[in-house]
Amino acid sequence: MSTTRLETFADGVFAIAATLLVLTVDVPSDLGNNTLAHELAKQWPAYAGYAISFVTIGIIWVNHHTVLSQLRGADRTFLFINVFFLLCIAFIPFPTRLLATYVRTENGEAAAFTYGVTLTATAIFFNLMWRYAIGGGGRLLRPDADRREVDGITRSYRPGVPMYAGATVVGIFNAEIGAALFGAIALFYVASSSVFGRDDEVVP
């Protein structure tokens, strides 16, 4: 299969999962004695969760494109790894809402754990996808793929799984610090790839 149709399907899942995150944020329905402004301010974890997960999905989308741009095509094994990878992406709205709801309660750790497991699994499948594509002597690589660039990509994806797994472990002990770490990882990726990144490249 050409990677074109995989991109259409994957971009659809990325875009929908990101947009469905808005369901994380509820319109307050019962104000009690509070003002709406008060209730809106109180649910700031929902806005933070929305933003962190949206940017995380955006980062993964950018990286997914980097992977596909190095490939000459896809075989069925690669497609099914992608299906499992996208299964994780599409799941993200659930732990986001879970974490936003429970992060400041005594049950926050279970929520942070669920969120972390989802992102860690996403990172694992992402790496599996890349490893499969470049394995077997570069079985899916474009014939003109630049070995140095391929190695650079491999290196840049290495920290993903340990970082998410680490934040998950922290989240088991303290949900709020764990949640802050997930936000920090997202910021780190945006900053590093924008500031230190290969910004001169403009592929038309």
Choose between 13 and 170: whose C-beta lies nearer to a second copy. Answer: 13
* CB-neighbour burial class of residue 108 (10 A; exposed 0-12, middle 13-18, buried 19+): buried
User: What is the rounded distance in angstroms from the CA atom of residue 171 to the CA atom of residue 116?
Assistant: 8
Q: Assign residue 79 a region: left if phi > 0, alpha if psi is -120 to 50, beta otherwise?
A: alpha
Q: In angstroms, what is the minimal distance from the CB of 204 to a second copy? A: 4
In degrees and rounded to multiples of 5, residue 141 shows phi and psi of -70, 145
Length of the chain (residues): 204
Please list every residue from 78 through 137 that binds a second copy, using CB under 8 A. 79-80, 83-84, 86-87, 90-91, 93-94, 97-98, 101-102, 107, 110-111, 113-114
Do the beta carbons of residue 111 and residue 178 sit within 8 Å? Answer: no
Candidates 44, 75, 147, 173: give the one binding a second copy (CB under 8 A): 75
Please list every residue from 173 through 202 that binds a second copy, using CB under 8 A. 190, 193-194, 197-202
Choose between 8 and 155: whose C-beta lies nearer to a second copy. Answer: 8
**116 Cβ contact partners less than 8 Å away, ≥ 6 residues apart:** 164, 165, 167, 168, 169, 171, 178, 182
Choose between 1 and 177: whose C-beta lies nearer to a second copy. Answer: 1
Tokens of 161: 């799984």
Question: 10 Å Cβ neighbour count for 73?
Answer: 12
Please list every residue from 30 through 49 that binds a second copy, using CB under 8 A. 31, 35-37, 40
15 binds a second copy (CB under 8 A): yes
CA 60 to chain CA mean position, Å: 5
Choose between 137 and 194: whose C-beta lies nearer to a second copy. Answer: 194
Choose between 148 and 201: whose C-beta lies nearer to a second copy. Answer: 201
Q: In angstroms, what is the minimal distance from the CB of 123 to a second copy? A: 18
Q: In angstroms, what is the minimal distance from the CB of 152 to a second copy? A: 14
Tokens of 54: 């949206």
Q: Kindly indicate which of the ranges 60-68, 122-130, 152-160, 163-171 contains the residues binding a second copy, using the contact rule CB under 8 A.
A: 60-68
Q: In angstroms, what is the minimal distance from the CB of 127 to a second copy? A: 18
